[in-house]
Amino acid sequence: MPTEAIVVIFGILVLLILSSCIRIVPQANAYILERLGGYQATWEVGLHLKMPLIDKVAKRVLLKEQVVDFQPQPVITKDNVTMKIDTVVFFQITDPKLYTYGVDNPLIAIENLTATTLRNIIGDLELDESLTSREIINSKMRQILDEATDPWGIKVTRVELKNIIPPAAIQDAMEKQMKAERERREAILIAEGQKRSAVLVAEGNKESAILEAEGEKTAAILRAEAKKEAMIREAEGEAEAIFQIQKARAEGIKFLKNSDPTPAVLQLRSMEAFEKAADGQATKIIIPSEIQGVAGLAKSISEVLKEE
**Cα(29)–Cα(7) distance, integer angstroms:** 39
Question: Which residues have C-beta within 8 Å of that of residue 101, sequence separation ≥ 6?
Answer: 39
Q: Specify the pLDDT at position 304.
A: 45
**DSSP-derived 3-state class of residue 279:** coil
pTM (predicted TM-score): 0.55
Q: Is 257 exposed, middle or buried (0-12, 13-18, 19+ CB in 10 A)?
A: middle
DSSP E strands, the chain? 22-25, 29-35, 38-43, 46-49, 55-62, 66-69, 73-76, 82-93, 154-165
Section 216-232 average pLDDT: 87
**Cα(155)–Cα(142) distance, integer angstroms:** 10
Residue 46 has φ and ψ, to the nearest 5°, of 135, -165
Section 39-66 average pLDDT: 91
Task: State yes or no: pLDDT of 19 exceeds 50.
Answer: yes
DSSP bridge partners of 232:
none
- In the DSSP assignment, the letter for residue 103 is S
Separation of first and last alpha carbons in the chain: 186
Section 212-220 average pLDDT: 86
Q: Is there a contact between 289 and 296 (Cβ–Cβ < 8 Å)?
A: no
Average pLDDT over the chain, rounded to an integer: 81
Q: Is there a contact between 70 and 90 (Cβ–Cβ < 8 Å)?
A: no
Task: State yes or no: pLDDT of 108 exceeds 70.
Answer: yes
* Structure confidence at residue 263 as a pLDDT band (50, 70, 90): low
Section 9-15 average pLDDT: 76
- Is the pLDDT higher at 188 or at 298? 188
DSSP bridge partners of 161:
87
**DSSP-derived 3-state class of residue 232:** helix
pLDDT digits (tens, 9 = 90+) for 29-43: 999 999 988 999 999
Question: Which residues have C-beta within 8 Å of that of residue 301, sequence separation ≥ 6?
Answer: 266, 269, 270
Task: State yes or no: pLDDT of 61 exceeds 80.
Answer: yes
Q: Is there a contact between 47 and 22 (Cβ–Cβ < 8 Å)?
A: yes
Section 70-77 average pLDDT: 89
Please identify, in words, the CATH class of the domain defined by 66-166.
alpha beta
Domain ranges (residues) in the chain: 3-62, 66-166, 168-251, 260-308
**Cα(99)–Cα(111) distance, integer angstroms:** 15
Residue 288 has φ and ψ, to the nearest 5°, of -55, 140
Query: Which sign does the torsion angle of CA 294, 296, 302, 304 carry?
Result: negative
Section 50-69 average pLDDT: 91
